[in-house]
Chains A and B, each alone.
Chain A
């Protein structure tokens, strides 16, 4: 502090000055408050929604899971020993889930089937729309077994109670609409509407034959004092290689939790981006305020107040305003979610308990205060350096001097604290770090580009391009003027538009991939559950249909990887990217010869007549991620039997091709005698789809056809919803950017008023003046749009190419929309604040300007 020190600072006096200055109202702080409130409210809202879902999942954990604990089995039910062990621990209920084709008269629908026993559900209640208990209704033994279905299915086929429907080889009576399924959220990705029947009904319909793809789980209702950890360990010790997966109420829906955590982390980062953009507005507002306060500051310094005292006074004043902004933001974000959440809760597929949660609100408040301090301190530091004489000269610009060391240190500490708080409090610190790094890079890049653009504009205003074009010269000169705040506007608008650009481009690429690229290579159908004895008839029947082009089939089993190189899978050191492989069961096939299109990357295929110990050909990328090499061993539990196979080769697998692909292809002998079904893909004309569905439904009811186009539409729809959520987040950043833009436009109004007056004196028409103002706004908007495109496209390119591992296509329309959006927004704000200067009376303006 030149000429001042902390000892000279009179804090009591500073406080008095701060309060007196506050009496002047908040007129100069509208943009400051808007930026802070928007950012903080956004973060508070995202945090509150996440907390509501977390609380909902936690309190409904046992209901969602269907029990205190659940053990899942692939392709099989619990063995008698396993069932006995589990029954000794608590009350047991069993369910089975599969996909199948439901036939209603001539209609067909792929459905998610759930078979339940009489004990279902252990927690919560499964009821029909008319109020009856599902398991009681399904348990009735008279006549054909019963079936209940989700409303969407009943409405699609006009089902009424008593209608006969067919599932597999069995006939069922429709009993009513399923209104409440308490454990719905714990299920995986749904490919169709839910139908529920009894396990016995499924068995009679031939859908639980060996080889059919299904999953069963045994749920447990345990005494309230049961030790879940101890029970899990005991089960794993008793059945170490059973291929069963344990879960319990503490983590009832890990998929949902993970998804919510990631989306929340991403949206919180978007909120931080909004705060960063808002920071530009906050800084500009403080600078503008201090410039207006120069006479008061000059008077205080003349009367003996030290630089430290004046600094403290304005720090206190702005701190109080920031505190008010943060509190309003927290109340707004938290209040909106608590108030409106319950209205939307009924439509949420996941449980959420909306309310006011202290932790996310405190977190939003902390981020807001740290960001406000960070962006306020820099302009405030000017008060520590300015000399009283400079104040009296009323220099319009704050002088550029080497900043005070203490201020630099405080800024470094504040930045570290903010970054530390964001990363430390995030549910996904790694994602938060990457996003934060991305924002920092974008921030520096945009600021530098804005600075360079301002310099360029200033240089161009003196160049040949502006010769004889006073309107253009004025516009370029104004963009390049230090007071114009061009770098700030380019940064704020560019960051908002850039987030929007990258999300729009990622979304467009993903949708394009699903809608345009995939269907070209994708088969029309997948068929599952083809019995070995049916295979030849199936092939003949399908290929006889006009429009059928190509059919591929493969034996299909499912297995869980339980060991790698003799080490239990859960303890093996693997790349985190391969976690998904071990999480559930995976498709397994066998083949004597390399399947069509196989590209061997390493190792050799076994001989046609190989009859030795089991060998496996593994997908190369995934195999490497699991730490496998040629000669490694993999233990796979298939139908309760652990098979250990040696890795003989690695294959290149293109998952996106949507042909038949397997992680593991075993040598035929390894699966000798194991009951299994076949999977098939069929390439066919669109016209062939309906006849194939119809005929197969009649002749081979157990075969489940999956129409690829339907599934692509479902995924595309899901992506669209996700895209909408992220676009809302991006809009928050853009809105803050707009606040900054409006703030800058408003701050420049006085300058434009003076310029308009001078130009009128020199003989310029109103149209020429307005044209010049519009030109500068459009040029600034174009600059912001262009830099937004640059970094937004770079970010989208990175995500599409490196994360989704696919080729990037620049969506031209979205690109032009962003560029046009930048111009339109800037032009609107510019013109909004150009009208008053244009209409101002020159005589009055010049009189005021002369002081």
Chain B
């Protein structure tokens, strides 16, 4: 059942992004920025947490889940450190994903050659 929800919720979030691209001419970078900030907002008002419980990776894998991760990290850090947590929480929460992306990027650039996009 978890797998079905992961598929449906993840797919629906992607369709929403596709509609934004097709109907509003938003560039991919803007869509991603919109998704991350929406994820932070939805998590802050308490809507994203239940969605993660329902759909698991269907909610955490789309970039809104990245925003949810940031918001959760900040909340936890503020609980522990006070106002300083507003600065430290987000970075700490997304550290693994960012580091993994950057390191993969550097290694890939060293191992592969640029090719035509088609």
Query: Do A and B come together as binding partners?
Result: no
Q: Which residues on A are within 8 Å of B, measured CB to CB?
A: none
Q: Which residues on B are within 8 Å of A, measured CB to CB?
A: none
